[in-house]
């Protein structure tokens, strides 16, 4: 029996790719006799809007899905992420980073070599500037009002955690390579958590036994395994499912203006037809 979850960010209307992901998770829960959980990942205050959260409920209900109540909204649980950060702080695997994006770009350019890209989306890996600075120098900048993020000291974390692996339902046993993501941000300058930290904490607190999500997040799992180990949490099983593409092979995306579920509905499409089309009759 495995509980699963669908965890959208309310930054736009859901499209067919989200419908596939939600139906996939619900089906995986159903076939294993587990619960299907909906979680609203709304930590990014500048991009998330309450009307998109309402639209998520409406669109998923239209699709015929039912989920556990109450729905967890990450923005209401900062204390849980704070507690996880305190634990990591206690292990000595966090450091303050005052770098701006421009600083990081400059530092990478100055190093002269082609930057290594993070495994989860192609951002250049952080070159470790603030990890190498004297702590007193960073403290002074912070005292003078510099905004700071908290980053994971990857080498220190890996030294504590040792080798790690996860079971992937499609790919089999995977050796975790968190170095692909470098010194990831665990608390942002504007929000006292990050996607990676919040998702790791929540999947545990919500008892998720099988994390189903798109292949685009495969890279993130390397880091999530490391965070689970550091926080003393069990590693769930994972199933990274295919991503839907539009007719010219582009991945569906909110920002690329892919037709939303409400566009399809308003154009007269029946939920049953969409479910059939996505392979969930
Ligand atoms: N909130 C993430 C998104 O909308 C998904 C997180 C996850 O499934 O781990 O892309």
pLDDT, tens digit (0-9, with 9 covering 90-100), for 69-80? 999 999 999 999
Average pLDDT across the chain, whole number: 94
Average pLDDT over residues 252-273: 87
Instruction: Of 90, 95, 121, 124, give the one whose Cα is nearest residue 107.
Output: 124
Per-residue pLDDT tens digits for 89-122:
999 999 999 999 999 989 888 887 677 777 656 7
pLDDT at 150 over 70: yes
- Give whole-number Cα distances, 6 to 29, 90, 154, 217, in Å: 11, 32, 28, 13
Could you tell me if the CB of 213 is within 6 A of ligand 1? yes
Q: How many CA atoms lie within 13 A of 174 on its CB side?
A: 24
Average pLDDT over residues 199-223: 97
Could you tell me if the CB of 194 is within 6 A of ligand 1? no
pLDDT at 247 over 80: no
pLDDT at 176 over 60: yes
Could you tell me if the CB of 28 is within 6 A of ligand 1? no
- Residue for token digits 């649980």? 77
pLDDT at 257 over 80: no
Confidence of residue 256 (pLDDT cuts 50, 70, 90): low
Testing ligand 1's pocket by substitution, the residue of 9, 47, 220 carrying the most ligand atoms inside 8 A of its CB is 9
**pTM (2 d.p.):** 0.94
- Higher pLDDT: 207 or 259? It is 207
- pLDDT value of residue 258: 76
CA 41 to ligand 1: nearest atom = 1
- pLDDT value of residue 120: 55
Testing ligand 1's pocket by substitution, the residue of 4, 75, 195 carrying the most ligand atoms inside 8 A of its CB is 195
pLDDT at 162 over 80: yes
């Amino acid at each position: 029996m495995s509980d699963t979850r669908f965890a959208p960010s309310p930054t736009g209307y859901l499209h067919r790719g989200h419908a596939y992901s939600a139906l996939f998770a619900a089906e995986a829960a159903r076939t294993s006799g587990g619960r299907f959980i909906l979680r609203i990942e709304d930590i990014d205050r500048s991009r998330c809007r309450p009307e998109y959260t309402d639209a998520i409920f409406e669109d998923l209900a239209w699709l015929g899905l039912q989920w556990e109540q109450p729905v967890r909204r990450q923005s209401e649980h900062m204390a849980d992420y704070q507690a996880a950060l305190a634990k990591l702080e206690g292990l000595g695997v966090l450091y303050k980073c005052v770098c701006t994006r421009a600083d990081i770009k400059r530092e990478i350019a100055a190093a002269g070599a082609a930057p290594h890209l993070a495994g989860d989306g192609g951002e250049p890996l952080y070159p470790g500037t603030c990890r190498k600075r004297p702590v007193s120098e960073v403290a002074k900048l912070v005292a003078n009002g510099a905004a700071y993020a908290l980053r994971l000291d990857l080498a220190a974390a890996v030294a504590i955690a040792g080798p790690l692996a996860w079971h992937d339902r499609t790919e089999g046993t995977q050796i975790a390579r968190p170095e692909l993501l470098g010194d990831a941000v665990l608390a942002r300058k504007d929000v006292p958590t990050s996607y990676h930290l919040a998702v790791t904490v929540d999947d545990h607190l919500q008892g998720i036994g099988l994390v189903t999500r798109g292949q685009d997040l495969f890279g993130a799992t390397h880091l999530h395994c490391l965070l689970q180990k550091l926080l003393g949490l069990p590693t769930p099983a994972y199933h990274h499912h295919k991503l839907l593409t539009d007719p010219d092979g582009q991945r569906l995306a909110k920002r690329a203006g892919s037709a939303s579920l409400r566009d399809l509905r308003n154009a007269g499409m029946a939920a049953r037809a969409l479910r059939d089309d996505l392979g969930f009759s």
